[in-house]
Amino acid sequence: MIELKNLTKVYGKGSKQATALSALSLSIKKGEIFGVIGHSGAGKSTLIRCINLLERPTQGEVWVDGVELTALRKHQLQVQRRKIGMIFQHFNLLSSATVYNNIAFPLRLAGTEGAEIERKVKELLFLVGLEEHWNKYPAELSGGQKQRVGIARALASDPDVLLCDEATSALDPQTTDSILRLLMDINTKFNLTIVLITHEMHVIQSICDRVAVIHGGGIVEQGEVAQVFLKPKHEVTKEFIRSETQSEGPLREAIDAVHTGYTQAVKITFLGHKTYESTLSQVVQGTGVHFAILHGTISTIKDVPYGQLIVRFEGPADAVQVTLTELTAQGLDVEVIS
Partner 1 sequence: MGGLDFSGINWDEMLDATIATLKMIAISGIFTIILGLPLGIVLYLWGKSNNVIIRAVYSVLSFIVNILRSVPFIILMVALIPLSKSIMGTSIGVLGTIPALVIGAAPFFARLVETALREVDRGIIEAAQGMGASTGQIVMRVLLPEARPGLLAGVTITIVTLVSYTAMSGMIGGGGLGDLAIRYGYYRYEKEVMIIAVALMVILVQLLQMAGDRLVRHFTRK
Ligand X SMILES: Nc1ncnc2c1ncn2[C@@H]1O[C@H](COP(=O)(O)OP(=O)(O)OP(=O)(O)O)[C@@H](O)[C@H]1O
Secondary structure (3-state) at 298: strand
Q: Does 50 bind ligand X (CB under 6 A)?
A: no
Q: Does 288 bind ligand X (CB under 6 A)?
A: no
Strands (DSSP E) found in the chain = 2-11, 18-28, 33-37, 59-64, 67-68, 84-88, 161-165, 193-198, 210-215, 218-224, 263-271, 290-301, 304-314, 333-337
Q: Does 215 bind ligand X (CB under 6 A)?
A: no
Q: Does 307 bind ligand X (CB under 6 A)?
A: no
What secondary structure letter does DSSP report for 171?
S
From the list Mg ion, ligand X, partner 1, none, pick the one residue 43 interacts with, judged by a Cβ distance below 5 to 8 Å according to partner type.
ligand X
Stretch that binds ligand X, among 43-51, 75-83, 174-182, 242-250 (CB under 6 A): 43-51
Beta bridge partner(s), residue 305: 300
Residue among 9, 35, 36, 45 that touches Mg ion (CB under 5 A): 45
From the list Mg ion, partner 1, ligand X, none, pick the one residue 46 interacts with, judged by a Cβ distance below 5 to 8 Å according to partner type.
ligand X
Q: In angstroms, rounded to a whole number, what is the distance separating the alpha carbons of residues 289 and 27?
A: 47
Number of chain residues interacting with Mg ion (CB under 5 A): 1
C-beta separation of 214 from 47 below 8 A? yes
> In this complex, which beta carbon is closest to ligand X, that of residue 18 or of residue 109?
18
What secondary structure letter does DSSP report for 55?
S
What secondary structure letter does DSSP report for 34?
E
HSE (CB half, 13 Å, CA atoms) of 187? 23
CB of 78 to partner 1, least distance (A): 4
- Residues with Cβ < 8 Å from 29, sequence gap 6 or more? 1, 193, 210
What secondary structure letter does DSSP report for 216?
T
CB of 42 to Mg ion, least distance (A): 9
User: Could you tell me how many residues make up the chain?
Assistant: 338
Q: Does 92 bind partner 1 (CB under 8 A)?
A: yes
Q: Could you count the other beta carbons within 10 Å of the beta carbon of residue 135?
A: 10
Q: In angstroms, rounded to a whole number, what is the distance separating the alpha carbons of residues 158 and 143?
A: 24
For the sheet with 193-198, list strands across it. Answer: 84-88, 161-165, 193-198, 33-37, 210-215, 218-224
> In this complex, which beta carbon is closest to Mg ion, that of residue 44 or of residue 210?
44
Residue among 32, 37, 44, 307 that touches ligand X (CB under 6 A): 44
CB of 145 to Mg ion, least distance (A): 23
Q: Does 81 bind partner 1 (CB under 8 A)?
A: yes
Q: Does 106 bind partner 1 (CB under 8 A)?
A: yes
The helix or strand, by DSSP H or E, that contains position 14, with its residue range, turns out to be none
Q: Does 46 bind Mg ion (CB under 5 A)?
A: no
From the list Mg ion, partner 1, ligand X, none, pick the one residue 182 interacts with, judged by a Cβ distance below 5 to 8 Å according to partner type.
none
Stretch that binds partner 1, among 19-27, 92-100, 122-130, 311-319 (CB under 8 A): 92-100
CB of 331 to ligand X, least distance (A): 38
User: Phi and psi for 217 in degrees, rounded to 5?
Assistant: 85, 10
- Residues with Cβ < 8 Å from 330, sequence gap 6 or more? 274, 279, 283
Stretch that binds ligand X, among 11-19, 136-144, 272-280, 316-324 (CB under 6 A): 11-19
Residue numbers at the binding site for partner 1 (CB under 8 A): 52, 54, 75, 77-82, 84-86, 88, 90, 92-97, 105-106, 108-110, 137-139, 157
Residue numbers at the binding site for ligand X (CB under 6 A): 11-12, 18, 20, 38, 40-46, 199
Residue numbers at the binding site for Mg ion (CB under 5 A): 45
